[in-house]
Structure 1
Amino acid sequence: MKDFRNLEVWQKAHQLTLSAYRATRTFPSDERFGLSGQIRSAASSIPANIAEGCGRRGDAEFHRFLQIAMGSASELEYHLLLSHDLQYLDAKDHKELSDEAVRVKRMLASLIRTVDEGGEKSRSANA
């Protein structure tokens, strides 16, 4: 069991979550439990699943939680696009958040490959 806080991908995902929370503060109040909540949930699910995977036994479970985190990152990308199309997010904020999400997805993909190839040592890799 490794400390998830040491994983660069977790650190980036945590920063993405903080950015998503900041961006949704200005959403209409009627979206509080709608799109705003969906964005916050998808964003926070990414680092949460990385952390949970680090706390599990074995690479198979770690891999599974990394895959769940990847799915949450893809879900977040869609919600960001929808927010932009509904004019809740301006183009600049949409691009910044989407770019962050893509970076996290690339890092997750790299870590997933490392887990597939490298066994237990992968949890300490700074993916």
Structure 2
Amino acid sequence: MEKFKSYKDLNVYQKAFEAAMRIFELSKFFPKEETYSLTDQIRRSSRSVCANVAEGFRRRKYIQSFCNCISISEGEASETQNWLDFAFRCGYISEEVYEELMNEYEHIIGMLVNMQKYSDKWKI
């Protein structure tokens, strides 16, 4: 397996970070009444995907801890998909944007599942 110096080198981190930034930009246009509900929740869950990958990367010497962080990241990605469902159904994002982001998060989730499945390859 390729040796990584930083969590920032991980493709899954880069994809999750870009998706979170896209969500941030889109959510700037959500209605004011969503500030402390949908806007806050979708921003937090999308950012948490990245944060937990970063944390897990530093916990690689303890495989259970690593897998726990990656599992949390997977859950946060799924939560982000849930908030995207609401954003779409409420008319805050277009169907095209919704489909693109849902597909991106499916890809991210797949990468996270594989990290857990082959966790022995991540041990340092």
**TM-score with structure 1 length normalisation?**
0.88
Counterpart of 1:118 in structure 2 is 121
**1:1-127 equivalent positions in 2, closer than 5 A:** 3-56=6-59, 57-115=61-119, 117-118=120-121, 120=123
Q: Distance in 2 between matches of 1:8 and 1:47?
A: 11
Deviation at 1:96, TM superposition (A): 1.3
Counterpart of 1:124 in structure 2 is none
Q: Distance in 2 between matches of 1:53 and 1:16?
A: 19
**Contact 1:23–1:93 (8 Å) recurs in 2:** no
What is the DSSP-based 3-state SS (H/G/I as helix, E as strand, rest coil) of the residue aligned with 2:36? coil
Deviation at 1:25, TM superposition (A): 1.1
Consecutive unaligned residues of structure 1, counting only runs of 5 or more, are: 122-127
Q: Which letter maps to 1:8? A: N
Q: Distance in 1 between matches of 2:86 and 2:35?
A: 15
Matched-pair identity in %: 28
Q: Which letter maps to 1:21? A: F
Q: Which runs of 4+ in 1 moved over 6 A?
A: none
Q: Across the two proteins, how many residue pairs are aligned to each other?
A: 120
Deviation at 1:119, TM superposition (A): 5.2
**TM-score with structure 2 length normalisation?**
0.90
Bigger RCO (CA 8 Å, 6+ sep)? 1
Consecutive unaligned residues of structure 2, counting only runs of 5 or more, are: none
Query: After superposition, what is the alpha-carbon deviation per residue over 1:44-83, rounded to whole angstroms, capped at 9, x for unaligned?
Result: 0001000011122411111000000000011011110111
Aligned-residue Cα RMSD (Å) equals 1.5
